Amino acid sequence: MQIRYGAVSAEFSRWNWPSEEIFQNWKVEFLALDETQYFDIYLLGGFLEKINSKKPFTPDIDIILTGCDDLEKIERLVVQGTLLGLKKYQVFFDVLWFEYLPIYADDPSVRHVKIYIASNQWIVNGRVRKTYPDASPTISSLWEMKQKFPTYKQLRLLEQGYHYCRPLLLSAKSK
């Protein structure tokens, strides 16, 4: 399987489902990167719901950076964190930067958030699997877009009474 996501490119024979062991190992390596000291770093999304026994499985692990708005630092962490997950663990760690973290576990009000992602396309074996048409390039390996949170799917679940987990702070910025 060949994955390309902007500057992130990896090839492997078997995709792994996220596990707590993989997550913990990735986290130790990721938090050792120098730039992490400038950000608050959160786990949220399907994997957080899974480890809290609210969801049976998820295909990826969502990591959100907030705080520092230095594009070069953001780019390094988004690319290196995603690359580490794919190349070493064969798991997609979706590392993103958010202008601020909407916590719809507490407040389901719809908000538009500026985010930075590694690319506007997710390509598997040469085929485009996902496109972010509203994303625009910033610096070499970073794309900016506005995203509505909670998403339509998340709003539907909230309206049905689902209670999302609060984001889990993995590391607080030290600078």
Write out pLDDT tens, residues 128-154: 999 999 999 999 899 999 999 988 888
Rounded Cα–Cα distance for residues 138 and 173 (Å): 24
With CA atoms as reference, report the closest residue to 90 among 1, 5, 170, 7.
1
Residue 173 to residue 175: CA distance in whole angstroms: 6
What's the rounded Cα separation, in Å, for the pair 144 and 66? Answer: 14
- State the chain's mean pLDDT as an integer: 93
pLDDT at 96: 97
Q: Is the pLDDT of residue 108 over 90?
A: no
Q: Say what the pLDDT of residue 109 is.
A: 85
Which pLDDT value is given to residue 12?
Answer: 87
Residue 107's pLDDT is 79
Q: What is the pLDDT of residue 53?
A: 87
Predicted local distance difference test score (pLDDT) of residue 131: 94
pTM, to two decimals: 0.94
| Amino acid 81: pLDDT | 97
Give the pLDDT score at 129.
93
pLDDT band for 73, please (50, 70, 90 cuts). Answer: very high
Residue 104's pLDDT band (boundaries 50, 70, 90)?
Answer: confident
